Structure 1
C-alpha cells in the first residue's frame, strides 16, 4: 500500500503503525483518515498479527486535526441547499469517526505510545486504543472547545470508560493541558517512561508478552470487554459464557495447561485468515 502520513511495518506478530509527518507536528490531514482505515484493514486481514503498536515521530505525538485542511474543507462557496449540505457534512464526520472505530474494533490489542503533545484528534485516537504508554513530559488536551467544536470523533464517547465524569467535563469544557503525571494518577496511562525510546521499548516488551498468549483467547478477551460497555452485568456474563462455549474447543486450552504444569512456554498457532 502507498502511504503518505503513516509508516506501516510488521515484525513477526507485532504490527507497527507510526505517524510520520513530524514537520507538520503529525497533524491529521485529508490523507490521514483513509490511510489509517487502510492500515487497520490490512492488520485485520493478517492472521499472523497479534498486537499493534501505534507511535509517532518528531517532537510531538500529534497536534490533532490539520486546521488548514479542515478550514478549506468547510469553506465551500458553491451554492447548495442547506439541508443537503448539512447531510453531506454528517457523512463526512461519520467517515472520520470510522478511522478510529476501526482501531477500537481491531481484533488484536492496540498499544499507543505517546510523547510530547497529544492534542485534539490525538486524544480521539488513543482513547480508541487498548493500552496507553507515555513518556515523561507528555500531555493531553481535548482541544476542540478552543476552536469552537464539540469533539466529535470519539473522545467524548470513549473517555467516560477511562476517567471520572467530573474530570472529563473539566478537561472538555476548559481545553486545559492534562499532564502525564496527573493522567497516571487517574489510570489514563498504563505507565510512564523516562523517554520516548524507553516508552517504545516498554510497549515492545508488553506487545511480545501479549503475542506469546493464545491469539484466540486474546481476541476473545478484547471482544468481551468491548461488548461489555453496552451490556448489563448479566448480559455480559451470558455473552462470555456463549463465547467460551463456542471457542474453547481447540488445542489452545490443553496446550496452555501442559505449559503451566511442565513450566514450559507453549506455542500457539495463528488465527485463520
Structure 2
C-alpha cells in the first residue's frame, strides 16, 4: 500500500510504514507543506493500530537541507502590524513548528530515522525527535541555524544534549561545524553506520521488522516511560511506570510470549486498538 503526498511517500508493508521524503531535486527542504504533512502522517499511522514501526528516510543526495528559503522570504517571519500582537503571533508560529517536529515522540509506535548525506538545520531537530537514528557513511549533521544568524528553536537544543552529552552538543551548536557519520556513531547520535544508502535502508527496515515483532503495547509503554524519565526525576518516573503497569500489565502478551518460547515459534501479538476517530487504513 503506497500513499503519495507533496513532500512524502508512505509505503506500508506488514506492520512497518516506510515514510520517505520525496523532493530530492529540492534537497528535501522543509516547505510550508512539509510542516503540515509530517505530523499528519505520523498521527495517522500511529492511530491505525496495525502499524507498529515507522521508518523515516529520504531520497537523493541529502536527507534534508533544512528549512526551505521560501519560509524565510515569504514575510511570515516579519509581518507588519502592532508589535505586541505580531510578536505573540510569532510565538504561536514557533510552537506550531515545534509541535510538528515533536510528533514522533507522541506516536504510540517506534520511529526510526535513516539518514544519508546532509542532515542540516531543521533536519537535525527532526531526527533527534525520533526513537533511533542510523546513517550511511556519507551522512553528516550540522546545526546550521548557528551559521545563518539564528538560534535553533524547534527541538535540537532541548533534545541533543540528552543524546550526545552536554559537551558534544555545545560544540555542535556553538561552532556550527558538520559532524561526520562516524563521529555521530561514536557519540551516540546514531546507532550504526552503513556503507551506502541502499545498505542503510535495507538494514533499518530489518531492524524495524524486528521491533514490529514485539508486543506493540510494550513498545508504546517503553516509549512513554523513556520519554517521561528523560524529562522527570527517578522518583516521579518510577511512579509513572507503576501507574502504566496498573493498566497495561495484563496476562495476554505474557502468556503468548511464554507459549511461543515453549513451542519454539515467533510470538503473535494483537495489534493496538485504533485510536478514537482514526480512519481505517488511513
Q: Which residue of 2 aligns with 1:236?
A: 237
Q: Secondary structure at the match of 1:99?
A: helix
Q: Which residue of 2 aligns with 1:7?
A: 9
Q: Which residue among 30, 33, 41 is the counterpart of 1:31?
A: 33
Q: How many pairs are equivalent?
A: 272
**Aligned runs of 1:117-132 on 2, under 5 Å?**
117-132=118-133
Q: Using the alignment, how far apart are the partners of 1:149 and 1:122 within structure 2?
A: 15
Structure 1: runs of 5+ lacking an equivalent: none
TM-score (normalizing by structure 1): 0.96
Q: Secondary structure at the match of 1:9?
A: strand
The Cα shift of 1:180 comes to 0.7
**Aligned runs of 1:179-258 on 2, under 5 Å?**
179-258=180-259
Q: Using the alignment, how far apart are the partners of 2:79 and 2:221 within structure 1?
A: 49
Q: Using the alignment, how far apart are the partners of 2:185 and 2:73 within structure 1?
A: 34
Cα distance change, pair 61–2 in 1 and its aligned pair in 2 (3 A): closer
Q: Secondary structure at the match of 1:271?
A: coil
Q: Secondary structure at the match of 2:267?
A: coil
The runs of at least 4 aligned residues of structure 1 exceeding 6 Å deviation read none
Q: Using the alignment, how far apart are the partners of 1:145 and 1:60 within structure 2?
A: 20
Q: Which residue of 2 aligns with 1:137?
A: 138
Q: Which residue of 1 aligns with 2:280?
A: none
Indicate whether 1:62 and 2:73 are aligned: no
Cα distance change, pair 172–44 in 1 and its aligned pair in 2 (3 A): same
Cα distance change, pair 142–77 in 1 and its aligned pair in 2 (3 A): closer
Q: Which residue of 2 aligns with 1:84?
A: 85
The Cα shift of 1:238 comes to 2.0
8 Å Cα contact 2:4/2:10 also seen in 1? no
Q: Which residue of 2 aligns with 1:262?
A: 263
Q: Secondary structure at the match of 1:31?
A: helix
**Aligned runs of 1:133-172 on 2, under 5 Å?**
133-172=134-173
Q: Which residue of 1 aligns with 2:52?
A: 50
The Cα shift of 1:69 comes to 2.5
The Cα shift of 1:241 comes to 2.0
Q: Using the alignment, how far apart are the partners of 1:125 and 1:76 within structure 2?
A: 24
Q: Using the alignment, how far apart are the partners of 2:228 and 2:135 within structure 1?
A: 27
Q: Which residue of 2 aligns with 1:178?
A: 179
Cα RMSD (Å)? 1.4
8 Å Cα contact 2:49/2:273 also seen in 1? yes
8 Å Cα contact 2:62/2:119 also seen in 1? yes
Q: Using the alignment, how far apart are the partners of 1:92 and 1:70 within structure 2?
A: 13
Render the CA deviation track for 1:222-252: whole Å, top value 9, x for unaligned: 1111111122112212221221221112411
Structure 2: runs of 5+ lacking an equivalent: 275-282
